[in-house]
Structure 1
Amino acid sequence: HTNVSEASVQRVLTLEGESYRPHYHSLPENLSFDEFKYASGRMAFEYIDAETGDILDILPAKDSRYVTQHFLSRYSLKQRSEVKTITIDMNASYMSFIPTLFPNAHIIIDRFHIIQLINRSMNKTRVTIMNQLNNSNGEDQKKYRRLKRYWKKLLKKEKNITYTTYTFYRLFGQRTEAAILSEILAYDPTLKATYDLYQSIIAA
């Protein structure tokens, strides 16, 4: 439409990109590591100023050897030693190189991934116990169907559970939410113990 060639456009983009190339003079005290999927389904690595949210740089690969080489070649030990905290998800590879690259940094697992993990763990316990009840016994079958239908109740924050509002629930009848949970948790001591731990971590 504008009689500009593809090569010219690419040249302008490349030159403009050079002006945004990070200047590796210093690192903030609080970093955050993350990864995301980009072209061809590959994973990229980014490190961020945890206080401002500014992206400091994006690397085209997330493997520990590539990331380690990047920080060693761009930042001095003095610069890396000034980093106090690094917030990450539960990626084990980060754990392996952070102490070496950032000797004074404390590792923080972000809350989102902790909640995600304990949600999965709680649900895994529920499914295990639910499947044990899937047999020819009529009473066990009723418990099985209840656990299968009302799984979201077990994941709900305790402070959001209603204790006074009565509602009709299929497989239970007219009950409060708290009454349903109390009955379900009485099915198995492991389920109850896991639920109590789950709620205490959520509250913390």
Structure 2
Amino acid sequence: MILLNRSGNKRTYLRLKKQRYLCRACKKYFTARTYLVTPFCFISKQIHYKILEELTERQSIKAIGKHCDVSVTTVQRTLSALSSDIRQNLEYLPRCLLFDEFRSLSTWHGKFSFSCMDGETGKLFEILPSRRKKDLVAFFMRFSLKARLGVHYIVTDMNAPYFSLVKECFPNAQVIVDRFHIVQHLNRFFDAVRKRVMKTLDQKDPIQAKQYRQLKSLFKLLLKSEDRLDYNTLTKRRNFNWRLLTETEVVDRLLKISPELKTAYRYYQDLLTAYQEKDPDTFFQLLRAMPGEVPLELHHIKKAFFKYEKGIRLALLKKYSNARLENLHTGSVAKF
């Protein structure tokens, strides 16, 4: 029974009888073959062509299997069979490559896969099932030395293995730290100060319990860039007895809760301003001259940022970022 494409929205099968022949010269038997199906297979070529057509659409493998009346494994096998037909040009690599990983299916390679994109055109360059360094080195070393020498920039996050990968595979490339991860580090360490201040508040005390709720529910205003705070629109604030307050007034009241939080906020905003103005000299000067009264959490970013200083400086000076690649993984581009 050979599975064919659906007819009238019903499964269609072909009952195929095979003829066996005897070769009088070598005395061996052989079976007649048909163009409808590959040898030792009961799924017709039409089904495989339909699977390939469905794979061009944005949908799950499970949905494709349901449309074609085959298993998920068959769809995956059909897709994998294409790899032997695709010949990659090993003499070319983009001038700028964007590196990132994303959570995919759990396999023996791990839970995360690797993707890279052409930083100039925004076209996806390759997706690999593994993000491990040895697998990435093996992939990129297949390209000619001339192609690898033509790569000038690699954009990635603060992932140490990627930095050593660049040194091994791309002699002329400079590593650019993705701008999103710079802001993410700043937010994370400042937010750690806020959480620690919250833990010091006694929730049995009515006043401190109220302050705790204010810091918990309005933390996004503290993370927001100061020059983007709305100082005109009055809004009723539930955590401030429904008073009409602007965003700037809310932030001022939150900072009065803790002098330590206020010190951390001022320093955080100074770093954020230098970042937004793309001024690497001021940014690192602020890190070098970090006041002693700044909370310990913000001292941790100093070590991390100086470790990747060259990449962060390039991030503030060059146009490249991982925004388009992150967009493929999350469906939205973060704007910073």
TM-score range, shorter chain: 0.7 to 0.9
For residue 152 of structure 1, what is the aligned residue in structure 2? 220
For residue 186 of structure 1, what is the aligned residue in structure 2? 256
Task: Mark the runs of 5 or more structure 2 residues left unpaired by the alignment.
Answer: 6-12, 14-36, 49-73, 277-336
For residue 164 of structure 1, what is the aligned residue in structure 2? 232
Any idea what the Cα deviations from partners look like across 1:156-195, whole Å, max 9, x if unmatched?
2323312233322123223222112112113223322332
Residues 107-186 of structure 1 aligned to structure 2 (within 5 Å): 107-172=175-240, 173-186=243-256
Tell me how far apart the structure 1 counterparts of residues 198 and 176 of structure 2 sit (CA, whole Å).
35
1:62 to 128, 131, 143: 131
For residue 268 of structure 2, what is the aligned residue in structure 1? 198
> Could you tell me the TM-score, scaled by structure 1's length?
0.83
Tell me how far apart the structure 2 counterparts of residues 146 and 12 of structure 1 sit (CA, whole Å).
55
Any idea what the Cα deviations from partners look like across 1:93-147, whole Å, max 9, x if unmatched?
2122212222221111212222333222232221111111135444433322221
For residue 122 of structure 2, what is the aligned residue in structure 1? 53
Query: Is the alpha carbon distance of 1:13 and 1:132 closer, same or farther for their aligned partners in structure 2, counting shifts above 3 Å?
Result: closer
1:34 to 81, 84, 100: 100
Secondary structure (helix, strand or coil) at the match of 2:127 reads strand
* Paired residues of 1:122 and 1:198 also in contact (CA < 8 A): yes
Secondary structure (helix, strand or coil) at the match of 1:39 reads strand
Query: Is the alpha carbon distance of 1:77 and 1:192 closer, same or farther for their aligned partners in structure 2, counting shifts above 3 Å?
Result: farther
For residue 173 of structure 2, what is the aligned residue in structure 1? 105
Query: Is the alpha carbon distance of 1:197 and 1:81 closer, same or farther for their aligned partners in structure 2, counting shifts above 3 Å?
Result: farther
Larger Rg belongs to: 2
For residue 44 of structure 1, what is the aligned residue in structure 2? 113
* Paired residues of 2:232 and 2:246 also in contact (CA < 8 A): yes
Give the number of aligned pairs. 203
* Paired residues of 1:165 and 1:176 also in contact (CA < 8 A): yes
Tell me how far apart the structure 1 counterparts of residues 79 and 201 of structure 2 sit (CA, whole Å).
62
In percent, how many aligned pairs have the same letter?
36
* Paired residues of 1:87 and 1:110 also in contact (CA < 8 A): yes
Give the stretch that moved more between structures: 80-89 or 191-200: 191-200
Write the letter of the residue equivalent to 2:244.
Q
Superposed structure 1 runs of 4+ greater than 6 Å apart: none
Tell me how far apart the structure 2 counterparts of residues 13 and 69 of structure 1 sit (CA, whole Å).
22
Higher helix share: 1
Tell me how far apart the structure 2 counterparts of residues 136 and 104 of structure 1 sit (CA, whole Å).
60
For residue 88 of structure 2, what is the aligned residue in structure 1? 22
Write the letter of the residue equivalent to 2:104.
Y
Write the letter of the residue equivalent to 1:121.
F
Task: Mark the runs of 5 or more structure 1 residues left unpaired by the alignment.
Answer: none
Tell me how far apart the structure 1 counterparts of residues 210 and 86 of structure 2 sit (CA, whole Å).
62
Q: CA deviation at 1:33?
A: 1.1
* Paired residues of 1:88 and 1:109 also in contact (CA < 8 A): yes
* Paired residues of 2:96 and 2:118 also in contact (CA < 8 A): yes
Write the letter of the residue equivalent to 1:127.
K
Root-mean-square deviation over aligned CA pairs = 2.6
Write the letter of the residue equivalent to 2:130.
A
For residue 92 of structure 1, what is the aligned residue in structure 2? 160
